[in-house]
């Protein structure tokens, strides 16, 4: 039988170690545990200790659970919050987004909110934009352009500035196109609609027809936003592109005609020089032929083929 004093001593040491451990846990996590307990977001001391061992900020997790419990978001366990924290997510922002979505009666659950956050999107801003739509300038002022330039069928340029009101589409936020795509599509739609107009007067009289035509194209497909409205904020008349193009074409035609006339002139001058050379050549031949006439006459006279004046012939 072991010695009784030794057993008592061992039990006392064990109790002391347990008491010291509990004291350390209470000192380290007592405030958090007490706060979670009275907020109906209970966690155990061993869960808090496990968070520290896993290098998880226990205060962040507990405060997130408290917010979720007080907002009535249901049972979002500490394990789920820890998993999102360890994956690099922003736990407090996800909880605030869920609270805002619940207050606005939006369909957003914890798993989707975590997926949106891990995808690099601001989930809280997305929820706020769903509740309070935001306005996007088209074109984007950051691009250095203040207006869109489009030309109607009559050749007159119109400079347009539009404002697009959008709200976030939470169902397509993951993998959906961003604001840049919305701006590009709206700009393309406005330019196409103005280009199909018969006259710039019709566009200026009824600018709403442009926005309606653009809205009917479904430009928000496969994007993270839903287009609420497209408003033409400003229209300015630019230069007459058609007239300028016609003038440029006429000038080009004139240059072509001048070039062809110059070509014909050069051909005529070359032909003239050829004819002058031919005349000189023929004149030389004529002079050569004329120089042979006296010689031929003398030879004919000596041969007796010609008669002198008075009827006598030359020597045989």
Structural domains present in the chain = 24-131 (no CATH), 134-241 (3.30.479.30)
- CA 48 → CA 22, 106, 145, distances in Å? 12, 33, 55
Q: What is the pLDDT of residue 309?
A: 47
Q: What is the pLDDT of residue 96?
A: 92
Residue 148 confidence (pLDDT): 86
pTM for the full predicted model: 0.61
Complete DSSP assignment for 84-116: HHHTT--HHHHHHHHHHHHHTT----HHHHHHH
- The per-residue pLDDT for 316 is 45
Query: What kind and span of H or E run contains 124?
Result: helix 123-131
Split the chain (316 residues) into runs of 10 and give each run's mean pLDDT.
64 67 59 69 74 80 85 82 90 92 87 90 89 87 82 84 88 84 88 84 82 82 86 82 76 88 88 87 82 77 64 49
Q: How far apart are CA 205 and CA 213, in angstroms?
A: 15
Q: Report the DSSP beta bridge partners of residue 230.
A: 164
CA distance 186 to 180: 10
Return the closest-CA partner of residue 152 out of 231, 245, 241. Answer: 241
The whole-number pLDDT of residue 93 equals: 92
Q: Where are the beta strands (DSSP E) in the chain?
A: 134-138, 148-151, 156-168, 225-240
User: Running DSSP on this structure, what letter comes out for residue 74?
Assistant: -
pLDDT of res. 8: 67
Q: Cα separation of 135 and 278, whole Å? A: 84
Which residues on neighbouring strands pair with residue 227, listed in sequence order? 166
């Amino acid at each position: 039988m072991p010695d009784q004093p030794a057993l008592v001593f061992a039990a006392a040491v064990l109790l002391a170690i347990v008491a010291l451990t509990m004291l350390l846990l209470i000192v380290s996590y007592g405030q958090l545990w007490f706060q979670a307990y009275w907020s109906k977001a209970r966690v155990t001391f061993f869960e808090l200790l496990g968070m520290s061992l896993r290098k998880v900020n226990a205060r962040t997790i507990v405060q997130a659970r408290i917010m979720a419990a007080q907002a009535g978001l249901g049972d979002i366990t500490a394990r789920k919050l820890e998993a999102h924290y360890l994956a690099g997510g922003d736990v407090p922002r996800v909880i605030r987004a869920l609270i805002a979505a619940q207050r606005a009666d939006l369909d957003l659950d914890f798993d989707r909110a975590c997926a949106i956050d891990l995808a690099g999107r601001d989930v809280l801003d997305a929820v706020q934009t769903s509740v309070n739509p935001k306005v996007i300038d088209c074109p984007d002022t950051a691009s250095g352009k203040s207006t869109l330039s489009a030309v109607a069928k009559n050749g007159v340029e119109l400079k347009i500035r539009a404002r697009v009101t959008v709200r976030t589409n939470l169902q397509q936020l993951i993998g959906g196109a961003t604001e840049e795509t919305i701006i590009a599509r709206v700009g393309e739609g406005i330019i196409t609609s103005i280009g199909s107009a018969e006259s710039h007067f019709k566009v200026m009289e009824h600018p709403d027809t442009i926005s309606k035509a653009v809205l009917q194209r479904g430009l928000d497909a496969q994007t993270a936003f839903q287009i609420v409205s497209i408003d033409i904020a400003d229209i300015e008349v630019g230069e007459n592109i058609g007239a300028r193009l016609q003038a440029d074409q006429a000038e080009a035609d004139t240059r072509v005609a001048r070039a062809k006339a110059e070509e014909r002139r050069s051909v005529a001058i070359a032909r003239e020089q050829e004819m002058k050379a031919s005349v000189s050549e023929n004149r030389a031949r004529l002079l050569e032929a004329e120089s042979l006439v006296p010689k031929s006459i003398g030879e004919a006279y000596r041969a007796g083929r010609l008669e002198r004046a008075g009827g006598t012939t030359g020597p045989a």
